[in-house]
């Protein structure tokens, strides 16, 4: 069963992203929103860790949050608006929000 993992907290403030990546299963998805999009900062170790998963997992980021933080969309990451986020959540068997 594929799970969509939703993260909204900065990867520089705690270890939620690291914990999520350790538990990620094949065909799972990761959606970064809010301050979690800082993981996509160019040359960051978090971005490198996420990009290493592109072959086995799907990576997404909310376009509004990327724009608000002036972050570029890295290769291998798909941008979404809110209606697409809703559709995406319905494509997965489960949605896990890392609060």
**pLDDT the model gives residue 55:** 87
User: Which residues have C-beta within 8 Å of that of residue 44, sequence separation ≥ 6?
Assistant: 38
Q: Which domain holds residue 17?
A: 3-98
- CA–CA distance, 90 with 10 (Å, rounded to integer): 25
pLDDT of residue 15: 97
**Does residue 95 have a pLDDT over 90?**
yes
7-47: per-residue pLDDT in tens? Answer: 999 999 999 999 999 999 999 999 999 999 999 999 999 99
Number of residues assigned to the chain: 99
* 38-79: pLDDT as tens digits: 999 999 999 999 999 988 999 999 999 999 999 999 999 999
Q: What is the CATH number of the domain that holds 50?
A: 3.40.1260.10
Sheet holding 29-32, edge to edge: 77-80, 58-62, 29-32, 3-7, 94-98
Cα–Cα distance, 70 to 82 (Å, whole number):
18
Contact, 28 vs 54, CB < 8 A?
A: no
Report how many domains make up the chain: 1
């Amino acid at each position: 069963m594929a799970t969509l993992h939703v993260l909204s907290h900065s990867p520089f403030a705690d270890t939620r992203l690291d914990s999520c990546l350790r538990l990620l299963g094949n065909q799972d998805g990761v959606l970064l929103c809010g301050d979690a999009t800082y993981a996509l900062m160019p040359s960051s170790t978090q971005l490198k860790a996420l990009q290493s998963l592109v072959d086995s997992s799907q990576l997404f980021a909310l376009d509004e949050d990327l724009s608000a933080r002036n972050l570029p969309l890295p290769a291998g990451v798909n941008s979404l608006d809110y209606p697409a986020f809703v559709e995406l959540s319905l494509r997965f068997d489960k949605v896990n929000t890392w609060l």
